[in-house]
Structure 1
Amino acid sequence: MTTYHERPAVPAGRYSDDHAADYDRWFGKPGITAATVDTLALLAGEGRVLELGVGTGRIALPLARRGFEVHGVEASQAMAARLRAKPGGEGVRITLGDFAEVPVEGVFSLILVVGGTLFELPSHEDLQRCLTAAAEHLEPEGVLVLDAHVPEALAVAAASGVPEVVSESDDHLILCHRRIDPSTATYHSHYLVHEADRTHHLRVRFHYASPGELDLMAERAGLRLRTRLGSWAGGPFTRGSAYHVSVYERR
Protein backbone atom coordinates (compact mmCIF):
# COMPACT_ATOMS: atom_id res chain seq x y z
CA MET A 1 0.00 0.00 0.00
CA THR A 2 1.23 3.49 -0.82
CA THR A 3 1.71 5.70 2.21
CA TYR A 4 1.66 9.49 2.26
CA HIS A 5 3.88 11.71 4.38
CA GLU A 6 3.47 15.47 4.53
CA ARG A 7 5.36 18.03 6.59
CA PRO A 8 5.09 21.78 7.04
CA ALA A 9 7.46 23.95 5.04
CA VAL A 10 10.98 23.78 6.42
CA PRO A 11 14.12 25.83 5.91
CA ALA A 12 16.36 24.29 3.28
CA GLY A 13 19.05 23.51 5.84
CA ARG A 14 16.81 21.20 7.86
CA TYR A 15 15.47 19.65 4.68
CA SER A 16 19.09 18.72 3.87
CA ASP A 17 19.46 16.94 7.21
CA ASP A 18 16.18 15.08 6.85
CA HIS A 19 16.79 13.83 3.31
CA ALA A 20 20.58 13.50 2.99
CA ALA A 21 20.30 9.76 2.35
CA ASP A 22 18.03 10.32 -0.66
CA TYR A 23 19.52 13.54 -2.01
CA ASP A 24 21.87 12.12 -4.65
CA ARG A 25 19.34 9.62 -5.93
CA TRP A 26 16.58 12.21 -6.15
CA PHE A 27 18.43 15.28 -7.36
CA GLY A 28 21.57 14.09 -9.13
CA LYS A 29 21.67 15.50 -12.67
CA PRO A 30 24.75 14.10 -14.43
CA GLY A 31 24.52 16.31 -17.53
CA ILE A 32 24.15 19.54 -15.56
CA THR A 33 26.82 18.44 -13.10
CA ALA A 34 29.35 17.77 -15.87
CA ALA A 35 28.74 21.17 -17.50
CA THR A 36 28.97 22.90 -14.12
CA VAL A 37 32.28 21.24 -13.26
CA ASP A 38 33.75 22.00 -16.69
CA THR A 39 32.91 25.70 -16.36
CA LEU A 40 34.17 25.96 -12.78
CA ALA A 41 37.43 24.19 -13.61
CA LEU A 42 38.17 26.83 -16.25
CA LEU A 43 37.47 29.63 -13.77
CA ALA A 44 39.49 28.14 -10.91
CA GLY A 45 42.92 28.59 -12.43
CA GLU A 46 45.50 26.84 -10.27
CA GLY A 47 44.41 28.09 -6.85
CA ARG A 48 42.33 26.67 -4.04
CA VAL A 49 38.57 26.15 -4.39
CA LEU A 50 35.88 26.74 -1.76
CA GLU A 51 32.29 25.56 -2.12
CA LEU A 52 29.66 27.10 0.15
CA GLY A 53 26.91 24.60 0.89
CA VAL A 54 29.04 21.70 -0.33
CA GLY A 55 26.32 19.13 0.43
CA THR A 56 27.13 15.56 -0.56
CA GLY A 57 29.94 16.62 -2.88
CA ARG A 58 28.13 16.64 -6.24
CA ILE A 59 30.47 19.41 -7.47
CA ALA A 60 33.32 19.27 -4.95
CA LEU A 61 34.30 15.66 -5.62
CA PRO A 62 34.66 15.97 -9.42
CA LEU A 63 36.73 19.13 -8.92
CA ALA A 64 38.95 17.32 -6.42
CA ARG A 65 39.40 14.47 -8.90
CA ARG A 66 40.72 17.03 -11.37
CA GLY A 67 43.49 17.90 -8.96
CA PHE A 68 42.10 20.99 -7.23
CA GLU A 69 42.49 21.54 -3.50
CA VAL A 70 38.83 21.74 -2.54
CA HIS A 71 37.37 23.05 0.70
CA GLY A 72 33.69 23.09 1.61
CA VAL A 73 31.36 24.62 4.18
CA GLU A 74 28.24 22.68 5.13
CA ALA A 75 25.62 23.24 7.83
CA SER A 76 24.17 19.72 7.67
CA GLN A 77 26.17 17.05 9.47
CA ALA A 78 24.19 14.39 7.62
CA MET A 79 25.12 15.81 4.21
CA ALA A 80 28.77 16.17 5.23
CA ALA A 81 28.81 12.57 6.43
CA ARG A 82 27.52 11.39 3.05
CA LEU A 83 30.30 13.33 1.33
CA ARG A 84 33.01 11.91 3.60
CA ALA A 85 31.78 8.36 2.99
CA LYS A 86 32.17 8.61 -0.79
CA PRO A 87 35.35 7.61 -2.64
CA GLY A 88 37.68 10.60 -2.48
CA GLY A 89 35.55 12.27 0.19
CA GLU A 90 38.44 12.38 2.63
CA GLY A 91 40.23 14.69 0.21
CA VAL A 92 37.65 17.48 0.53
CA ARG A 93 38.32 19.64 3.59
CA ILE A 94 34.92 20.23 5.21
CA THR A 95 34.06 22.91 7.76
CA LEU A 96 30.72 22.51 9.53
CA GLY A 97 28.94 25.82 9.97
CA ASP A 98 26.83 28.60 8.52
CA PHE A 99 28.07 29.20 4.99
CA ALA A 100 26.91 32.84 5.14
CA GLU A 101 29.78 33.44 7.56
CA VAL A 102 32.36 31.70 5.32
CA PRO A 103 33.99 30.23 8.45
CA VAL A 104 37.33 29.23 6.90
CA GLU A 105 40.87 30.56 6.83
CA GLY A 106 42.87 31.75 3.87
CA VAL A 107 42.01 32.89 0.37
CA PHE A 108 40.77 31.08 -2.72
CA SER A 109 40.93 31.53 -6.46
CA LEU A 110 37.36 30.25 -6.80
CA ILE A 111 34.47 30.44 -4.36
CA LEU A 112 31.23 28.88 -5.53
CA VAL A 113 27.69 28.57 -4.25
CA VAL A 114 25.68 26.63 -6.81
CA GLY A 115 22.56 24.56 -7.31
CA GLY A 116 20.46 27.49 -6.11
CA THR A 117 22.00 27.07 -2.65
CA LEU A 118 22.42 30.81 -2.07
CA PHE A 119 18.65 31.21 -1.73
CA GLU A 120 18.65 28.84 1.23
CA LEU A 121 19.73 31.86 3.29
CA PRO A 122 16.65 33.32 4.99
CA SER A 123 16.94 37.07 4.26
CA HIS A 124 18.54 39.78 2.13
CA GLU A 125 20.72 40.62 5.12
CA ASP A 126 22.07 37.08 5.13
CA LEU A 127 22.67 37.20 1.38
CA GLN A 128 24.66 40.41 1.84
CA ARG A 129 26.59 38.93 4.76
CA CYS A 130 27.54 35.93 2.64
CA LEU A 131 28.74 37.94 -0.35
CA THR A 132 30.74 40.29 1.88
CA ALA A 133 32.42 37.42 3.72
CA ALA A 134 33.14 35.58 0.47
CA ALA A 135 34.79 38.67 -1.03
CA GLU A 136 37.16 38.81 1.93
CA HIS A 137 38.37 35.29 1.11
CA LEU A 138 39.04 35.85 -2.59
CA GLU A 139 42.52 36.06 -4.03
CA PRO A 140 43.15 39.36 -5.88
CA GLU A 141 42.35 37.67 -9.20
CA GLY A 142 39.82 35.25 -7.76
CA VAL A 143 36.15 34.92 -8.66
CA LEU A 144 32.89 34.20 -6.86
CA VAL A 145 30.42 32.11 -8.88
CA LEU A 146 26.76 31.63 -8.06
CA ASP A 147 23.67 30.39 -9.85
CA ALA A 148 20.01 30.99 -9.16
CA HIS A 149 16.52 31.13 -10.57
CA VAL A 150 15.30 34.41 -12.05
CA PRO A 151 12.33 35.43 -9.84
CA GLU A 152 10.16 36.66 -12.72
CA ALA A 153 10.55 33.32 -14.48
CA LEU A 154 9.64 31.50 -11.28
CA ALA A 155 6.47 33.57 -11.04
CA VAL A 156 5.48 32.78 -14.63
CA ALA A 157 6.08 29.07 -14.11
CA ALA A 158 4.12 29.11 -10.86
CA ALA A 159 1.18 30.88 -12.51
CA SER A 160 1.04 28.25 -15.26
CA GLY A 161 0.20 25.55 -12.73
CA VAL A 162 2.31 23.03 -14.66
CA PRO A 163 4.72 21.17 -12.35
CA GLU A 164 8.37 20.67 -13.25
CA VAL A 165 9.69 17.14 -13.62
CA VAL A 166 12.74 17.31 -11.36
CA SER A 167 13.85 13.70 -11.62
CA GLU A 168 12.54 10.41 -12.94
CA SER A 169 13.84 6.87 -13.10
CA ASP A 170 12.52 3.33 -12.94
CA ASP A 171 12.04 3.64 -9.18
CA HIS A 172 10.91 7.23 -8.60
CA LEU A 173 9.30 10.36 -10.02
CA ILE A 174 9.73 13.84 -8.51
CA LEU A 175 7.52 16.76 -9.48
CA CYS A 176 7.94 20.32 -8.24
CA HIS A 177 5.57 23.26 -8.07
CA ARG A 178 6.77 26.60 -6.69
CA ARG A 179 4.60 29.17 -4.94
CA ILE A 180 5.91 32.74 -4.95
CA ASP A 181 5.29 35.40 -2.30
CA PRO A 182 6.65 38.76 -3.57
CA SER A 183 5.71 40.50 -0.32
CA THR A 184 8.41 38.54 1.52
CA ALA A 185 10.68 37.69 -1.45
CA THR A 186 10.23 34.01 -0.72
CA TYR A 187 9.13 30.97 -2.62
CA HIS A 188 8.09 27.54 -1.46
CA SER A 189 9.12 24.55 -3.52
CA HIS A 190 6.54 21.79 -3.22
CA TYR A 191 8.10 18.45 -4.13
CA LEU A 192 5.90 15.42 -4.73
CA VAL A 193 8.11 12.35 -4.47
CA HIS A 194 6.57 9.11 -5.72
CA GLU A 195 8.39 5.84 -5.17
CA ALA A 196 7.31 2.23 -5.40
CA ASP A 197 6.15 1.99 -1.80
CA ARG A 198 5.52 5.59 -0.77
CA THR A 199 4.51 9.02 -1.96
CA HIS A 200 5.35 12.05 0.11
CA HIS A 201 5.18 15.81 -0.08
CA LEU A 202 8.10 18.07 0.84
CA ARG A 203 7.76 21.82 1.17
CA VAL A 204 10.98 23.82 1.30
CA ARG A 205 11.24 27.58 1.82
CA PHE A 206 13.73 29.79 -0.05
CA HIS A 207 14.45 33.53 -0.03
CA TYR A 208 15.16 35.03 -3.44
CA ALA A 209 16.82 38.09 -4.95
CA SER A 210 16.86 39.28 -8.54
CA PRO A 211 20.08 39.38 -10.58
CA GLY A 212 20.09 43.17 -10.24
CA GLU A 213 19.73 42.97 -6.46
CA LEU A 214 22.59 40.48 -6.30
CA ASP A 215 24.74 42.84 -8.37
CA LEU A 216 24.08 45.66 -5.87
CA MET A 217 24.96 43.38 -2.96
CA ALA A 218 28.13 42.37 -4.75
CA GLU A 219 29.07 46.03 -5.24
CA ARG A 220 28.61 46.67 -1.52
CA ALA A 221 30.92 43.70 -0.90
CA GLY A 222 33.62 45.17 -3.14
CA LEU A 223 32.85 42.98 -6.15
CA ARG A 224 31.67 43.58 -9.70
CA LEU A 225 29.99 41.40 -12.28
CA ARG A 226 32.45 39.91 -14.76
CA THR A 227 29.96 37.89 -16.80
CA ARG A 228 26.51 36.36 -16.59
CA LEU A 229 25.37 33.26 -18.47
CA GLY A 230 21.93 31.83 -19.01
CA SER A 231 23.00 28.28 -18.20
CA TRP A 232 25.98 26.16 -17.23
CA ALA A 233 26.20 25.06 -20.86
CA GLY A 234 27.36 28.58 -21.68
CA GLY A 235 24.28 30.07 -23.31
CA PRO A 236 23.84 33.85 -23.10
CA PHE A 237 21.73 35.48 -20.40
CA THR A 238 18.77 37.22 -22.04
CA ARG A 239 15.48 38.85 -21.08
CA GLY A 240 13.85 35.44 -21.39
CA SER A 241 16.34 33.51 -19.25
CA ALA A 242 14.86 31.53 -16.38
CA TYR A 243 18.21 30.92 -14.70
CA HIS A 244 21.53 32.68 -14.38
CA VAL A 245 25.14 31.80 -13.69
CA SER A 246 26.92 34.91 -12.42
CA VAL A 247 30.66 35.41 -12.06
CA TYR A 248 31.93 38.21 -9.79
CA GLU A 249 35.45 39.54 -9.38
CA ARG A 250 37.12 42.08 -7.12
CA ARG A 251 36.68 45.72 -8.09
Structure 2
Amino acid sequence: MNKMETVEEREAMSLHQRILADISERILSGEWAPGHRVPFEYELAQQYGCSRMTVNKALSQLAKAGLIERRRRSGSFVRRPQSQAAVLEIHDIKVEVQALGLPYSYALISRQKRKSTADDRVLLDLKQSTPVLDLTCLHRAGARPFCLEQRLISLTAVPEAADESFEEAAPGPWLVGHVPWSTAEHRIRATAAGEEVAAALEIEAGAACLAVERRTWSADHPVTQVRFTYPGDSHMLVARFTPSDGS
Protein backbone atom coordinates (compact mmCIF):
# COMPACT_ATOMS: atom_id res chain seq x y z
CA MET A 1 0.00 0.00 0.00
CA ASN A 2 2.79 2.40 0.90
CA LYS A 3 4.50 1.62 -2.40
CA MET A 4 1.27 2.37 -4.32
CA GLU A 5 0.88 5.68 -2.48
CA THR A 6 4.43 6.62 -3.37
CA VAL A 7 3.80 5.95 -7.07
CA GLU A 8 0.63 8.04 -6.98
CA GLU A 9 2.45 10.85 -5.23
CA ARG A 10 5.20 10.76 -7.84
CA GLU A 11 2.70 10.84 -10.69
CA ALA A 12 0.88 13.78 -9.09
CA MET A 13 4.16 15.62 -8.59
CA SER A 14 5.16 14.96 -12.20
CA LEU A 15 1.85 16.36 -13.46
CA HIS A 16 2.12 19.31 -11.08
CA GLN A 17 5.56 20.19 -12.48
CA ARG A 18 4.34 19.71 -16.05
CA ILE A 19 1.37 22.04 -15.53
CA LEU A 20 3.67 24.62 -13.92
CA ALA A 21 6.16 24.40 -16.78
CA ASP A 22 3.53 24.52 -19.54
CA ILE A 23 1.68 27.55 -18.17
CA SER A 24 4.88 29.39 -17.20
CA GLU A 25 6.28 28.91 -20.71
CA ARG A 26 3.12 30.27 -22.33
CA ILE A 27 3.22 33.35 -20.10
CA LEU A 28 6.95 34.06 -20.28
CA SER A 29 7.05 33.56 -24.05
CA GLY A 30 4.25 36.10 -24.50
CA GLU A 31 1.86 33.52 -25.98
CA TRP A 32 -0.52 34.31 -23.12
CA ALA A 33 -0.49 38.09 -22.77
CA PRO A 34 -1.43 40.02 -19.60
CA GLY A 35 -5.18 39.70 -19.04
CA HIS A 36 -5.44 36.33 -20.80
CA ARG A 37 -7.75 33.95 -18.94
CA VAL A 38 -6.07 30.71 -17.90
CA PRO A 39 -8.29 27.63 -18.49
CA PHE A 40 -10.53 26.79 -15.53
CA GLU A 41 -9.40 24.15 -13.04
CA TYR A 42 -11.79 21.53 -14.39
CA GLU A 43 -10.58 22.21 -17.95
CA LEU A 44 -6.94 21.75 -16.94
CA ALA A 45 -7.82 18.62 -14.93
CA GLN A 46 -9.44 17.13 -18.03
CA GLN A 47 -6.55 18.19 -20.26
CA TYR A 48 -3.88 16.63 -18.04
CA GLY A 49 -5.94 13.72 -16.73
CA CYS A 50 -5.39 14.61 -13.10
CA SER A 51 -7.31 15.76 -10.04
CA ARG A 52 -8.43 19.34 -9.52
CA MET A 53 -6.31 19.32 -6.35
CA THR A 54 -3.16 18.89 -8.46
CA VAL A 55 -4.25 21.72 -10.76
CA ASN A 56 -5.14 23.95 -7.81
CA LYS A 57 -1.70 23.42 -6.31
CA ALA A 58 0.00 24.42 -9.57
CA LEU A 59 -2.18 27.52 -10.02
CA SER A 60 -1.58 28.57 -6.41
CA GLN A 61 2.16 28.36 -6.98
CA LEU A 62 1.88 30.44 -10.16
CA ALA A 63 -0.15 33.05 -8.28
CA LYS A 64 2.44 33.15 -5.48
CA ALA A 65 5.15 33.73 -8.09
CA GLY A 66 3.16 36.69 -9.43
CA LEU A 67 2.52 35.22 -12.88
CA ILE A 68 -1.25 34.90 -12.55
CA GLU A 69 -4.04 36.50 -10.54
CA ARG A 70 -6.81 34.29 -9.16
CA ARG A 71 -10.25 35.92 -8.98
CA ARG A 72 -13.07 34.34 -7.09
CA ARG A 73 -15.78 33.01 -9.43
CA SER A 74 -14.03 34.51 -12.46
CA GLY A 75 -11.01 32.24 -12.82
CA SER A 76 -7.30 32.92 -13.17
CA PHE A 77 -5.74 35.59 -15.39
CA VAL A 78 -2.20 36.38 -16.52
CA ARG A 79 -0.82 39.29 -14.54
CA ARG A 80 1.19 42.15 -15.96
CA PRO A 81 4.57 41.90 -14.20
CA GLN A 82 5.36 44.91 -12.07
CA SER A 83 8.95 45.80 -11.45
CA GLN A 84 10.14 47.40 -8.24
CA ALA A 85 13.23 49.59 -8.25
CA ALA A 86 14.83 51.20 -5.23
CA VAL A 87 14.84 54.96 -5.56
CA LEU A 88 18.23 55.47 -3.95
CA GLU A 89 20.13 52.62 -5.63
CA ILE A 90 21.93 52.24 -8.92
CA HIS A 91 20.46 48.95 -10.04
CA ASP A 92 21.10 46.61 -12.95
CA ILE A 93 18.05 46.36 -15.22
CA LYS A 94 18.99 42.80 -16.16
CA VAL A 95 18.78 41.76 -12.50
CA GLU A 96 15.50 43.66 -12.16
CA VAL A 97 13.95 41.79 -15.10
CA GLN A 98 15.24 38.40 -13.97
CA ALA A 99 13.77 39.03 -10.51
CA LEU A 100 10.37 39.00 -12.23
CA GLY A 101 11.07 35.51 -13.54
CA LEU A 102 11.27 36.82 -17.11
CA PRO A 103 14.01 36.34 -19.72
CA TYR A 104 16.08 39.46 -20.29
CA SER A 105 17.39 40.77 -23.60
CA TYR A 106 19.12 43.96 -24.66
CA ALA A 107 19.58 45.82 -27.95
CA LEU A 108 21.57 48.89 -28.94
CA ILE A 109 19.37 51.17 -31.05
CA SER A 110 21.84 53.96 -31.78
CA ARG A 111 25.38 55.03 -30.91
CA GLN A 112 26.88 58.40 -31.79
CA LYS A 113 30.16 60.00 -30.76
CA ARG A 114 29.93 63.78 -31.09
CA LYS A 115 30.70 67.13 -29.55
CA SER A 116 28.42 68.14 -26.69
CA THR A 117 25.61 70.59 -27.39
CA ALA A 118 24.38 73.27 -25.02
CA ASP A 119 21.57 70.91 -23.94
CA ASP A 120 24.09 68.13 -23.32
CA ARG A 121 26.15 70.40 -21.09
CA VAL A 122 23.09 71.19 -18.98
CA LEU A 123 22.15 67.51 -18.68
CA LEU A 124 25.68 66.39 -17.80
CA ASP A 125 26.52 69.41 -15.63
CA LEU A 126 29.50 70.25 -17.85
CA LYS A 127 31.31 73.54 -17.51
CA GLN A 128 32.65 73.52 -21.05
CA SER A 129 32.28 71.71 -24.35
CA THR A 130 33.54 68.12 -24.35
CA PRO A 131 33.10 65.04 -26.57
CA VAL A 132 30.24 62.76 -25.55
CA LEU A 133 28.91 59.36 -26.46
CA ASP A 134 25.16 59.39 -27.15
CA LEU A 135 23.49 55.98 -26.71
CA THR A 136 19.93 54.72 -27.06
CA CYS A 137 19.24 51.18 -25.86
CA LEU A 138 16.22 48.96 -25.36
CA HIS A 139 15.80 46.45 -22.54
CA ARG A 140 13.20 43.69 -22.91
CA ALA A 141 11.42 41.42 -20.42
CA GLY A 142 10.32 38.37 -22.36
CA ALA A 143 8.67 39.48 -25.58
CA ARG A 144 7.76 42.95 -24.26
CA PRO A 145 9.87 46.12 -24.20
CA PHE A 146 10.68 46.85 -20.55
CA CYS A 147 12.64 50.08 -20.59
CA LEU A 148 14.12 52.58 -23.05
CA GLU A 149 17.55 53.88 -22.04
CA GLN A 150 18.82 57.20 -23.41
CA ARG A 151 22.33 57.93 -22.12
CA LEU A 152 25.12 60.50 -22.48
CA ILE A 153 28.66 59.63 -21.39
CA SER A 154 31.36 62.26 -20.98
CA LEU A 155 34.35 61.03 -22.96
CA THR A 156 36.56 63.41 -21.00
CA ALA A 157 35.72 61.51 -17.81
CA VAL A 158 35.56 58.07 -19.47
CA PRO A 159 37.71 58.17 -22.65
CA GLU A 160 37.78 54.33 -22.92
CA ALA A 161 33.99 54.34 -23.56
CA ALA A 162 34.75 55.63 -27.07
CA ASP A 163 36.19 52.20 -27.96
CA GLU A 164 33.22 50.23 -26.61
CA SER A 165 30.49 49.25 -29.09
CA PHE A 166 27.88 48.48 -26.38
CA GLU A 167 26.22 46.12 -28.83
CA GLU A 168 26.46 43.08 -26.56
CA ALA A 169 26.23 44.60 -23.08
CA ALA A 170 24.38 47.59 -21.63
CA PRO A 171 26.43 50.67 -20.72
CA GLY A 172 25.19 50.88 -17.12
CA PRO A 173 26.96 47.76 -15.74
CA TRP A 174 30.01 48.58 -17.89
CA LEU A 175 30.32 52.04 -16.32
CA VAL A 176 29.86 50.70 -12.79
CA GLY A 177 32.71 48.27 -13.44
CA HIS A 178 35.04 50.88 -14.97
CA VAL A 179 34.39 54.17 -13.19
CA PRO A 180 34.11 54.56 -9.41
CA TRP A 181 31.25 56.99 -8.89
CA SER A 182 31.10 59.19 -5.80
CA THR A 183 27.80 61.05 -6.18
CA ALA A 184 24.50 60.26 -7.88
CA GLU A 185 21.34 62.27 -8.42
CA HIS A 186 17.93 60.83 -9.27
CA ARG A 187 14.95 62.66 -10.71
CA ILE A 188 11.64 60.83 -11.13
CA ARG A 189 8.70 62.12 -13.11
CA ALA A 190 5.54 61.07 -14.89
CA THR A 191 5.62 61.72 -18.62
CA ALA A 192 3.68 61.04 -21.80
CA ALA A 193 5.34 58.92 -24.47
CA GLY A 194 6.48 60.88 -27.50
CA GLU A 195 6.50 59.20 -30.90
CA GLU A 196 10.10 57.93 -30.63
CA VAL A 197 9.60 56.51 -27.13
CA ALA A 198 6.19 55.06 -27.99
CA ALA A 199 7.58 53.27 -31.04
CA ALA A 200 10.45 51.77 -29.04
CA LEU A 201 8.25 50.66 -26.14
CA GLU A 202 5.47 49.46 -28.49
CA ILE A 203 2.83 51.60 -26.80
CA GLU A 204 0.56 54.36 -28.05
CA ALA A 205 1.91 57.89 -28.39
CA GLY A 206 0.79 59.88 -25.36
CA ALA A 207 0.60 56.82 -23.10
CA ALA A 208 1.60 57.38 -19.47
CA CYS A 209 5.22 56.52 -18.67
CA LEU A 210 7.55 56.72 -15.70
CA ALA A 211 10.89 58.42 -16.37
CA VAL A 212 13.86 57.97 -14.06
CA GLU A 213 16.72 60.38 -14.78
CA ARG A 214 20.11 59.94 -13.19
CA ARG A 215 23.42 61.80 -13.19
CA THR A 216 26.61 60.48 -11.65
CA TRP A 217 29.93 62.11 -10.80
CA SER A 218 33.37 60.74 -10.00
CA ALA A 219 34.85 63.22 -7.55
CA ASP A 220 33.85 66.52 -9.18
CA HIS A 221 33.81 65.17 -12.73
CA PRO A 222 30.46 64.48 -14.45
CA VAL A 223 30.42 60.91 -15.79
CA THR A 224 27.03 60.14 -17.29
CA GLN A 225 23.43 61.29 -17.57
CA VAL A 226 20.77 58.71 -18.35
CA ARG A 227 17.01 58.66 -18.76
CA PHE A 228 15.16 55.37 -18.28
CA THR A 229 11.58 55.42 -19.58
CA TYR A 230 9.19 52.67 -18.49
CA PRO A 231 5.57 52.00 -19.52
CA GLY A 232 3.59 53.50 -16.66
CA ASP A 233 1.54 50.39 -15.91
CA SER A 234 4.49 48.04 -15.34
CA HIS A 235 6.91 49.77 -13.00
CA MET A 236 6.96 51.10 -9.45
CA LEU A 237 9.62 52.76 -7.33
CA VAL A 238 10.28 51.75 -3.74
CA ALA A 239 12.15 53.56 -0.96
CA ARG A 240 12.73 52.20 2.53
CA PHE A 241 13.89 54.58 5.25
CA THR A 242 14.10 55.03 9.01
CA PRO A 243 13.12 58.03 11.18
CA SER A 244 15.77 60.70 11.57
CA ASP A 245 16.91 61.79 15.03
CA GLY A 246 14.88 64.98 14.73
CA SER A 247 11.55 63.32 13.89
> If the TM-score is normalised by the length of the shorter chain, which range does it land in?
under 0.3
Give the TM-score of the pair, scaled to structure 2.
0.24
State which structure, 1 or 2, has the greater radius of gyration over its C-alpha atoms. 2
Q: Which has the higher contact order (CA 8 A, sep 6+)?
A: 1
Give the TM-score of the pair, scaled to structure 1.
0.24
